[in-house]
Structure formats: C-alpha cells, structure tokens
Amino acid sequence: MEPVITPEIVVAYSQCPRKAYLLLFSPDKGEPHEYTQILEQQRCANQERYLHRLQQTHADVHPYSVENLRKGSQVLINAHLQVDRFAADCGVLTRVEGTSTFRKYCYEPSIFVGTHSISKEQQLELSFVDMFWNVSSIHPLMREELLEWTGPRTPSNWAQVQKPSDRFLNPFTNGSRWTR
C-alpha cells in the first residue's frame, strides 16, 4: 500500500525532507512531543467551540457528504477528502458567491489551529487543503492533474492555489524521489 500524502507530510517536507520521508515510510511513528499534543488538544477545543457557535447562528450547517455538497449547503463541516494517495481534513467548507468551471457552487476551506496566531506551517497546511479541495472535488477528470501536476493550468481552476504548496508538492507528485 502506498503511503498517503497529507498536510502533515507536506509541512514536514518544508522543514526537512528527511523528516517527511521518515513520516511516510517509518513503521515506528513514535509519540508526539508534549507541546504538539497540547496544541492538538487546543485545536480540537477551538473547533468544537466554533462549530457549536456556528450551528447556533446558521441554519444551513451540515456534515460533509456528497449529497450535501450537491445540494449546495451553506456550510459543510468535518470534511475528509481523499483521492488516490492524497488526503486532507478540512474543518469547515463555506459556500462563497460564484460558480466554478465544473461545479455548481464554490466552497472555501477553513482549518482550525491551536495557537493564537497563524504560523508559516499552518499557512502551508491551509494552502495544501485549498489546493487539494479545488482539484479533487472540481471534477473526476482533475484527479490526473493532481497526480501529474504538470498539465496546463487555467486561471479559473487554479486561482486559489498558492505557490508555496507548488514547491513542496513537486517531490510527492513526481514519484521518482520518494520510492522506497
């Protein structure tokens, strides 16, 4: 089974390619550092608090599903997106004005963090989630675009893709460097 590329792997690669490689292929994942565990607990608490408040203030809040996506729900929560060997979790998908090329509604992804400010790593994580959301859910034919990453990009399909993720995704998408 091929390892799954997640935002955690992309962020690890931005810090050190060896770290990303070990996260992908090491059988021993180890125990996260205590500080990392505290941040994760705080992130979960922030997410729970925000989603509770969101459900009280908005009537059209639904869990992520293909059916709710097709219906055009205003807010979708707890989305887990996976295409082939790429995966990303998204706390909230909020419908925004306009339509995209291949779907009826546009959604903007949001993630939750356990800190009071946004770090570069968290910006990269959101960039990956945003890129992944836009590519994986637009149309089934776009799956190959994600895996190859070398095909032509049109402004309407790639307007929200941010450049930092390009630099860090290339080693994962070309496959040659990351074989065991």
Q: How far is residue 78 from each of residues 62, 109, 128, 179, measured CA to CA in Å?
A: 9, 10, 16, 32
Decide if 180 is inside a domain.
no
What is the rounded CA–CA span in Å between residue 65 and residue 51? 17
Among the ranges given (69-73, 116-120, 133-137, 151-155), the one the predictor scored with the smallest mean pLDDT: 151-155
Decide if 131 is inside a domain.
yes
Decide if 2 is inside a domain.
no
**Model confidence at 66: pLDDT above 70:** yes
Top pLDDT among 106 and 170 is at: 106
User: What does the DSSP 8-state code read for residue 30?
Assistant: -
Model confidence pLDDT, tens digit, residues 11-58: 999 999 999 999 888 888 778 899 989 999 999 999 999 999 999 998
Top pLDDT among 149 and 170 is at: 170
| pLDDT value, residue 52 | 94
Helix, strand, coil shares, percent, the chain, to 5: 50, 15, 35
Decide if 1 is inside a domain.
no
Decide if 34 is inside a domain.
yes
Decide if 61 is inside a domain.
yes
What is the rounded CA–CA span in Å between residue 76 and residue 134? 15
What is the rounded CA–CA span in Å between residue 69 and residue 64? 7
**Model confidence at 94: pLDDT above 50:** yes
As beta bridge partners, residue 94 has 75, 108
CB-based contact 74:117 (threshold 8 Å): no
| pLDDT value, residue 67 | 87
Decide if 141 is inside a domain.
yes
CB-based contact 89:63 (threshold 8 Å): no
Decide if 108 is inside a domain.
yes
Q: Which structural domain, as residue segments, surrounds residue 160?
A: 7-174
| pLDDT value, residue 147 | 38
Top pLDDT among 133 and 8 is at: 8
Q: Considering its fold, how many domains does the chain have in total?
A: 1
pTM for this structure? 0.70
